[in-house]
Amino acid sequence: MNRPVRTTLGVVLSATLLTTLAAAPAQAHSGGRPPTVIALPDGFQPEGIATAGRYAYFGSRATGAIYRVDLLTGRGATIGAPIGTPSLGLKVDPRGRLFVAGGTAGDARVLDSRTGEVLARYQFATTPTFVNDVILTRDAAYFTDSHRPVLYRLPLGRGGALPPADGFTTIALTGAYEQVGTGVNLNGIVTTPDGRALIVVQSNTGTLFRVDPATGATTVVDVPGYTFTNGDGLLLLGRTLYVVQNSLNQVAVVRLNQAGTAGTVTGTITDQNFDVPTTVARALGRLYLPNARFSTPATPTTPYSAVAVRAR
Q: Residue 254 sits in a domain of what CATH number?
A: 2.130.10.10
pLDDT (tens digit per residue) in 52-110: 999 999 999 999 999 999 999 999 999 999 999 999 999 999 999 999 999 999 999 99
Whether 227 and 268 have beta carbons less than 8 Å apart is answered as: no
The structure's pTM equals 0.90
Residue 263: inside a domain, yes or no? yes
Could you give the CA distance from residue 307 to residue 265 in angstroms, rounded to a whole number? 22
- % of the chain residues with pLDDT over 90: 88
Report the alpha-carbon distance of residue 204 to residue 221 in Å, rounded. 16
Q: Is residue 1 part of a domain?
A: no
Is the pLDDT assigned to residue 20 strictly greater than 50?
no
In terms of average pLDDT, the best of 14-18, 157-161, 220-224 is 220-224
**pLDDT reading at 182 higher than 70:** yes
pLDDT tens digits along 243-300: 999 999 999 999 999 999 999 999 999 999 999 999 999 999 999 999 999 999 999 9
Residues 6+ apart with CB under 8 A from 60: 44, 45, 46, 47, 66, 67, 82, 86, 87
Percentage of the chain beyond pLDDT 70 is 90
d(CA 302, CA 265): 35
Q: Is residue 7 domain-resident?
A: no
Q: Evaluate if residue 17 carries a pLDDT over 50.
A: no
Q: How confident is the model at residue 225 (pLDDT cuts 50, 70, 90)?
A: very high
Judged by DSSP in three states, 281 sits in strand
Looking at the domain assignment, is residue 2 inside a domain? no
Residue 47 lies in a domain: yes
By the 8 A CB rule, do 109 and 116 touch? no
Tens digit of each residue's pLDDT (9 = 90 or more) over 30-54? 457 899 999 999 999 999 999 999 9
For the chain, how many structural domains are there in total? 1
Q: Give the span between the Cα atoms of 102 and 109, in whole angstroms.
A: 7
CA distance 72 to 212: 39
Residue 117 maps to a domain: yes
Tell me, yes or no, whether 67 lies in a domain.
Answer: yes
Res. 312 pLDDT band, cuts 50 70 90? confident
Summarize the confidence of residues 187-216 as an average pLDDT.
98
pLDDT of residue 12: 31
**What average pLDDT is seen over the chain?**
91
Residue-by-residue DSSP string for 173-226: -EET----SSS--EEEEEE-TTSSSEEEEETTTTEEEEE-TTT-EEEE-B-TT-
Helix (H) or strand (E) run with residue 301 in it = none
Domain that holds residue 86: 15-310
pLDDT at 32: 72
Q: Is 3 a domain residue?
A: no
